[in-house]
Structure 1
Amino acid sequence: MGMKAKPHHQHHYNGNGGGGGGGNGSESSSSTSPSPPPSPRRHSSTLSHCRRKLRSKPISVVAGFLLLRRFLRFLVVLPLLYVSGLIMCVGPFSGLVGHTPLPGSVYRSHEMFELLWPHIQADNSTPIELSSVWRYRRKLKEQKPCPPSTAGLQLESPGPSVYLIVEVNGGLNQQRSAICNAVALAGLLNAILVIPNFEFHNVWRDPSTFGDIYDEDHFIATLDGHVKVVKELPEMVLERYDHSIANIPTLRVQAWAPVRYYKGEVYPILQRQGVIRIAPFANRLAMNVPPSIQHLRCLANYEALKFSSPISNLAKKLVERMTEKSSRTGGKYVSIHLRFEEDMVAFSCCLYDGGEAENSEMNSIRQKGWGDKFKRKGRVTLPGLNRIDGKCPLTPLEVGMMLRGMGFDNSTSIYLASGKIYWAEKHLAPLLKMFPYLHTKESLATPDELAPFKGYSSRLAALDYTVCLSSEVFVTTQGGNFPHFLMGHRRFLNGGHAKTIIPDKRKLVVLLHDMGISWKDFKLEMEAMLTESDRKGKIIPRVKKFTKKSSVYSYPLPDCGCLQKHNGTG
């Protein structure tokens, strides 16, 4: 009987979602044997059970409440203990409490330099030749022909002309990214692109227009047959909006918006209005687009965007002068993108060897530039952890020691691409000791030649970009749009190899903290780092994560390969 009752209750559970209750009348009647009669009630037992339950309930509630309070206290205290421990180990108080700082957490590179400088001077090993730095070679595949000029998405049958206006912001290479994306988007939407407008930004403070940086006529002519570009809206379109761009419908598009978004949301509005304005436009188009649209990015970046005559003429002179001053090394030179300006040092929240004066100055710069951003509730700044994590800008001294360790000797010509170095006289002195043939745009150009560029950060950056592009070795020290675009451009020109040294800063800061390391051992580590940069320089990611670090601008092959073959640079 018990065996037959079990499936009956199970059936009731499945049908009603309840648990283990008796069946209804119809279910009972379907059983072949009657259910056993219920047991007689035992009132005394039930009453006793209820009393026990009532007595135990307050005790269990109080105990649970106490446990909960202890648990919550633990959750609050644990992070504080963790952060306090890190501060004690890593922070500036570690020396006071007797704790040994974590390896790499404290800037001691200046002490390391003083210790190893005699050994660096006495090093008579054979220096590395610039012509043989890069040993890894990429076997180039036969490139497919470029997509036809009419390969854009045909969303509907062609109708009246529609126009796309974009507002681009940021520095030189963020603007470059936005321009290339705008060309691709115009092709996607079958729109006529109006020459992009550059927004004035309080950080860069550069009022330059598109025509100040790039050759407008060359841009329009190169894209002709692919995307139509005009310098301004036609009069008849402007009349509809009272000759004010501000009256044109402005769309705010999500970052990295996919093709389906533009096809489903933006395209219908464009067809209705005849013109749309997207602001801001930085990173507003996904990297994953059809090949024909990706080709437009390549075409814009590597062929259509040519620096304006004032920039390209002076940049050409700087490259020629740099080559002449590198006669000791066959006209080849090393370029370094150094991010050790005071705003970069302040933003990184890293500490160097300037003591309390440096700390006070950096706090003042942070307050002036970013207000209370670094003082917000819950924000903890740990300079030592930033350094260990490789987030601190390398000093000129650290870059110099790294390069000497890699085998570059004091006859190597160096081009330094940088803004105004923080405490320049102090920080550049050791680099000049190690590499006396150090040049900048200021030292290569005359004051009269540079005068038209003063106060225009993007135009000055364009000069640096061109000289770095022509170097045999490029050294990046802090990341950002400049090195990402430059490495991609170098890959495009150098058969797929970036020819770029990318320091392993997490490893480097630990080595520069070790006062017991010999110059010989330090060199072995730096040579291994150079070999790794050589190996990674030719790698093409198998699966591209569509971000600015691994985009078509950083890794142009194979997407832009047809242009490479066309230009004869493969």
Structure 2
Amino acid sequence: MAVDLRQVMAAILTLSMFIMLGNMIKRDHLDPLLEPLPVSPKVQYNALKISKPGMHKLSEISYGPWKELNESPKPCWKKPSFRGEQSKGYIFFSLSHNPEFHASQIANVVVIARHLGATLALPDIRGAKLDERRKFGEIYDVSKFIETLNGIVRVDKNPPAGLSNGRVPTVRVPNKVSTNFIASNIKPIFKTKRALKIVTCFNASTTMKRGNDNKLSNAFECVATFETLNLQPDLQEVVDSMVGTLRSLSQKTRGRFVAVDLRVEMLRKKSCLKSKWCYNGEEIGEFLKKIGFHADTTIYLTQTGWDSSLNALRNVFPNTFTKDAIMPADEKAKYMGSESREYENFIDFYMCTKADVFVPAFPSRFYHSVVGKRIAYGKTQIIVPANNTSASATDYISPYITNKNHSAYSCFC
């Protein structure tokens, strides 16, 4: 049978067009999904010891019990403004060396200064040792702090030297100080001295809640708690780099990672040993596996330096890291070590607020404060371990979230 050459050529051209079209679809739509995510050039590969990344089909990606990010809640407050002129008096205070206390300390003094009409002196930050002090600007963005409080209280970066030389009377006040306490215990002293140093006490027996009818004080507190504290740019860049590295390593979970507040020295304290909610590395590993997290899940631990007791956790989740492994090498000298332990605390705190999932291994003020920040961000996947048989992650969501009984909910709608 005779073959028409023109028909043969037409068939070849048609087939070639289909092949070209197929390659275009693969290149533009499929290949980007299959390529490994780029890893930050600052990652220390010899320290990470991660499993070798491979090419994964979409059907093979294991998500685990991930929850989509909620929309950030809307603030319920309207930023108040000055009423009348402020006095010439000053309120001084220092922040503790633990970042989980800072927002509450600032909220307390802002409420006090506002009610007294006082100027707020820019605080310093206490170190781990009694005589150690850091400047506020070493950790936080000073300009943002002052700008946020503009219209609420006046902030002075350089108060008169004669007022801040240690001769200012110190007044200890409860957290969430009430207006009645201010009027009866603080105002009389302030009228006489015109300068006070405020120390906020977090003893549960002295903590006082403000009444629901005191909406103005609540507005001051909310602004101070959630808008004043931003890391200074260099430190923020380090945190952002570490978050980016973890997301790059989290290939199978689409850039998601879990942060676990697990510090070996805390687990060994008597208070933790007596607590029903206190979990070591092996127990955390078993728990996360039970509720559905895949072995390829990337985990960040607040532990400083690797401890052999954490090996059992890494056996279950090989991509488990401490800050030592993912901090940019050129920043370690500044932000890690015995002289820089306070920096490490801040890095851990903000890493836990940025993670897709937060898991506290023990009860603490750190847990409470991280939850508050996460509520403000809409990151409500906070899982608290417990000894029960359920394998559903939803059965372990923090009571702060399920019951909406965290104080942050009074600030957001």
Structure-1-length-normalised TM-score: 0.55
1:133 aligned residue: 66
Indicate whether 1:345 and 2:345 are aligned: no
Residue in structure 1 matched with residue 102 of structure 2 by the alignment: 175
Tell me the residue number matched to 1:318: 242
Match for 2:80: what amino acid? P
The residue number in structure 2 matching 1:476 is: 360
CA contact (8 A) 1:410 1:436 kept: yes
1:538–1:137 CA distance, 2 compared to 1 (3 A): farther
Instruction: Tell whether the 8 Å contact from 1:222 to 1:303 is kept in structure 2 after alignment.
Output: yes
Matches of 1:535 and 1:345, distance apart in 2: 24
Higher strand content, 1 or 2: 2
Secondary structure at 1:327's aligned position in 2?
coil
**Match for residue 294 of structure 1?**
218
- Give secondary structure in 2 for the equivalent of 1:538: helix
Q: Structure 1 residue 170: deviation in Å? A: 4.6
Shift of the alpha carbon at 1:465?
Answer: 2.2
Deviations 1:329-362 (A, max 9, x none): 1111111110322x54044474xxxxxxxxxxxx
Unpaired segments of 5 or more residues in structure 2?
1-59
Q: CA RMSD in A?
A: 3.1
Displacement after TM superposition at 1:133 (Å) = 2.7
CA contact (8 A) 1:258 1:288 kept: yes
159, 165, 168: which one aligns with 1:248: 168
- SS for the counterpart of 2:264 is coil
Q: Deviations over 1:505-561 (max 9, x none)?
A: xx25xxxxxxxxxxxxxxxx2424x222347463344xx6xxxxx4x3xxx124244
After TM superposition, the structure 1 = structure 2 runs for residues 229-378 of structure 1, keeping only pairs within 5 Å, are 229-234=155-160, 238=162, 245-253=165-173, 257-279=177-199, 282=202, 286-288=208-210, 290-341=214-265, 344-348=267-271, 350=273
* 8 A Cα contact 2:177 2:208, kept in partner: yes
Aligned equivalents of 1:222 and 1:407: distance in 2?
Answer: 42
Give the CA deviation at 1:143.
6.4
User: 2:383, 2:398 within 8 Å by CA — same for their partners in 1?
Assistant: no
Alignment of 1:431 with 2:363, yes or no, is: no
Preserved contact between residue 469 and residue 489 of structure 1 (Cα < 8 Å): yes
Task: Give, in whole Å, the separation in 2 of the partners of 1:280 and 1:148.
Answer: 23
Q: Is the 8 A contact 2:353 2:373 kept in 1?
A: yes
In structure 2, which of residues 386, 390, 394 is the aligned counterpart of residue 531 of structure 1? Answer: 394
Structure 1's 537 and 412: CA in aligned 2 closer, same or farther, altered over 3 A?
Answer: farther
- CA deviation profile, 1:116-163 (whole Å, cap 9, x unmatched): xxxxxxxxxx99625x533898997x865514324xxx7xx7463221
Q: Which residue of 2 aligns with 1:446?
A: 328
Partner of 1:208: 134
Quickly say closer, same or farther: Cα 1:254–1:471, change in 2 above 3 A.
closer
1:452 to partner: Cα distance: 0.4
- Tell me which structure has the larger Cα radius of gyration: 1
Of 282, 296, 302 in structure 2, the residue corresponding to residue 417 of structure 1 is 302
CA contact (8 A) 2:249 2:255 kept: yes
Name the amino acid aligned to 2:283.
E
Distance 2:348 2:242 in 1: 9
Asked if the contact 1:147–1:292 (Cα under 8 Å) also holds between the matched residues in 2, the reply is: no
Aligned partner of 2:53 in structure 1 is none
Task: Give the distance between the partners of 1:167 and 1:145, measured in 2 at CA.
Answer: 27
Distance in 1 (alpha carbons) for counterparts of 2:262 and 2:61: 23
Q: Residue type matched to 2:411 in 1?
A: D
Q: Structure 1 residues 181 and 144 mapped into 2: Cα distance closer, same or farther (>3 Å)?
A: closer
Find the aligned partners of 1:308 and 1:443 in 2 and give their Cα distance: 23
Partner Cα distance (1:471, 1:159) in 2 = 41
In the superposition, the TM-score normalised over structure 2's length comes to 0.75
CA contact (8 A) 1:168 1:279 kept: no
Say if 1:215 and 1:305, in contact at 8 Å, map to a contact too. yes
CA distance in 2 between partners of 1:416 and 1:176 (Å)? 23
Deviation at 1:180, TM superposition (A): 2.5
Q: Structure 2 vs 1, CA of residues 210 and 476 (structure 1 numbering), >3 Å: closer, same or farther?
A: same
